[in-house]
Structure 1
C-alpha cells in the first residue's frame, strides 16, 4: 500500500461517517479483499479503523481520532486547495498525471472541500507568446532552489549592459507585477533580486549553495535589485481618456481629474530612467506634459529631434 493511497484512504474515512468495502474497492480499483487488508494495516499502524455489519455498515474511524472531523475547517480546505491549484498552474504539475487511474493531489483534496475552490483563477502565462520562456526559467530556478544548486546566467540590466552573473538562489518571489528570484550574488558579494524576464542562458551548476539566507536577518527584508536604487519622479499630464489605461497599466497613478470632454489631468509616479521620455512620446498628441519642467524640456527636445529627422528625409 503506497503512502499516497494510505493518505487518501485515511482522508476518505475521516470525511465519511461510514463507507462500504465495495465502494472503496470501486474507488481504488482493487478487490474488497485488498480493502480489508489495507484496513488491517491502518489498524496495526495505530489508526482506529473499525467495521460495522448490516445494511448501513461499513468502515469508519473512531470519532475521537477524527477530531470532530475538523483537522481542516471548510475554509481551510478551500484555501489549501485554491493555493495548490495556483502552484500547479504555474509549475505545470497539473498536467503531470502518469495515467488516468492516478489523480493529482489537487484533484484528490478538491473532493473533500465542501466550499467552491474555483473562486480564483490564476494564469501566469504571459500575453506575449515569446514570454513562455519565463516558465522554463521558473522551473529551472525552482529545482535549483529546492536542490540548493548555484546558477549562472546572462542578465540584462537597466544600465544597458549584459552582465554574466553567478548566484546562489534562495527563493522565487512575485513582487508587484513581475517574477523575481532572490539570492546571494557571487559577483556583487551581496543579496540581490533578479527579474526573470531579463535572464538569458540560465544554467544550473553542479555546485552547492554555501551562503544561507538566514545569515542576513533583517537585511533580507530590503528589496535589493540587481541595479542601483531607481529614483522616482512625480509627473502631471493632460492625457486623452482613450489612452488613460496605458498610464494606469505602467505607473502608480495618484490622481485623475476630468479636464475636458475627452481628456483628463493625471498625476502619477514614474521611474526616472532612460526609457521614460521615449515611452511618453509613444502617446503622440494624446499627451501633454504639465509638470515637472525638466520632463517637459526633455520631451520638447526629443520632439524637435524627431521633427528635424523628418525634414532631412
Structure 2
C-alpha cells in the first residue's frame, strides 16, 4: 500500500509546481507524519525535492528533473478514463482510484467530467456486491492459475464443476466466465449470475492458448442453428429493437414486426416466446409452433384448478 502511495505522491509532484504536506495527507487519508516519512523516502531514492515555507508554499520537484508527460491526446485520455470509470463499478475501487491518481494527479476525480459513462453495476445494490465479489474471485484465480470449483445453474440442472478460468467477459448486458471444463476438457462460457457458489481450490493448471469465438451466444445467433421466423405485435417494437437491433427486422403488411434469425436451443426459444404472451406468433418452422402449443397445454394442466 505504501508503494502505491509513494507513486501517487511522485505523480502529483511531477504534475504540479508545489503541494503542501497537509493537502497530500488529505488526498491519501494518512497523517502528516506519514507524509513527511514518504517525502524523506522519495528524497532517499535520489529524486531532488525542495520546500517553500509559509502560505502558498509547499513541496516540489526541481524543475530540471521533471519530464514532459504530454504523450496522450484529449480523445485518448477520454477513452482511457471511460474504461477506468466503467471498471470502477464492478472491481477494486481503491486500486483504480490510485491508478487515476497516478495518471491524472491534478484531477483524479476527472471521471465526473466525461461525456460517456459506463456503469456495469446492476440496479439492485446487493446483486452488484455479489457480482463484484465473484469477479474479484475469478480474477484472483486467473492470475494465480488456480482451478475454480463452482455450483452452476443451467436450464435443466444444477452442476458442481471444476473450471480452469481464463477470462472474465462482458457481453450483451451480462458477465461471463470463459474457462475450460475438467469434465470434457472443452472451453465454455458460464454466466456469472448463475454461479451460486464459487471457491478457489488449491490446485493449479497449466494455461494453454485459448481463442474466444468471434461470434458466440448461449441463445441465438445470425448463422447457427435452424432458421426461425417470428411475428411480433407492433406494440413490442421497443423490445424487438433491444434484442435484435433496428436493422434486423421488417414490418408486415398488417403492421406486425417480422424477425428472421437462427437458433440452436429450442428449450431457450420456447421460454423466450412465452415471455411475449399474446404479442407474438411463431411463423416458421411449423413443428416449433406445435412444440410450443404442447408446452402451453402442459402449463394449463399443471395449473388447472
- Could you tell me the TM-score, scaled by structure 2's length? 0.72
Contact 2:151 2:198 in 1 (8 A): yes
What residue in structure 2 maps to residue 19 of structure 1? 18
1:137 pairs with 134, 139, 144, which one? 134
Aligned counterparts of 2:257 and 2:294: Cα–Cα separation in 1: 24
SS of residue paired to 1:11: helix
Residue number in structure 2 paired with 1:100: none
- More divergent stretch after superposition (46-55 vs 269-278): 46-55
SS of 1:87's partner is helix
Please give the per-residue CA displacement for 1:105-163, whole angstroms capped at 9, x wherever unaligned.
Answer: 166355535995233433333346784544433232233223433221222345x2333
The reply on whether 1:289 has 2:285 as its aligned counterpart is no
Which residue pairs with 2:6 in the alignment? Answer: 6
| Residue of structure 1 in register with 2:187 after alignment | 191
Does the 8 Å CA contact 1:254/1:269 hold for their aligned counterparts?
no
Provide the C-alpha distance between the structure 2 equivalents of 1:143 and 1:190, rounded to a whole number of angstroms.
22
Q: Which residue of 1 aligns with 2:211?
A: 220
Look up the match of 1:210.
205
Name the stretch that deviates more: 49-58 or 125-134: 49-58
**Equivalent residues of 1:180, 1:195 under 8 A apart:** yes
For residues 133 and 32 of structure 2, what CA distance do their matches in structure 1 show? Answer: 42
Equivalent positions of 1:151-300 (< 5 A) are 151-158=148-155, 160-207=156-203, 209-212=204-207, 215-216=208-209, 219-222=210-213, 231-251=224-244, 255-259=248-252, 263-300=256-293
3-state DSSP class of the match of 2:167?
strand
SS state at 1:67 partner: coil
Is 2:84 the partner of 1:84?
yes
> Cα deviation per residue 1:214-234 (whole Å; 9 max; x = unaligned)?
x33xx4334799989994344
**Which has the bigger relative contact order, CA under 8 A and spacing at least 6?**
2
Secondary structure of 1:68's counterpart equals coil
Q: CA–CA distance in 2 between the matches of 1:266 and 1:121?
A: 32
Please give the residue correspondences for 1:97-112 in structure 2 after superposition, counting only pairs within 5 Å: 104-105=97-98, 108=101, 111-112=105-106
- How much does 1:90 deviate? 0.3
Q: Which has the larger radius of gyration?
A: 1
Q: Which runs of 5+ in 1 are unaligned?
A: 98-102
The runs of 5 or more residues in structure 2 that have no matched partner are none
RMSD, aligned α-carbons: 4.4
Q: Within 2, Cα distance between the matches of 1:42 and 1:2?
A: 12
Partners of 2:188 and 2:276 lie apart in 1 by 34
The question of whether the paired residues in 2 share the 8 Å contact of 1:252 and 1:268 is answered with no
- Alpha carbons of structure 1 residues 226 and 72: separation in structure 2 relative to 1, 3 Å: closer
- SS at 2:68's partner residue? helix
Distance 1:131 1:59, change over 3 A: closer
Aligned equivalents of 1:257, 1:229: Cα separation in 2: 18
Q: Matches of 2:299 and 2:157 in 1, distance apart? A: 30
Query: TM-score under structure 1 normalisation?
Result: 0.71
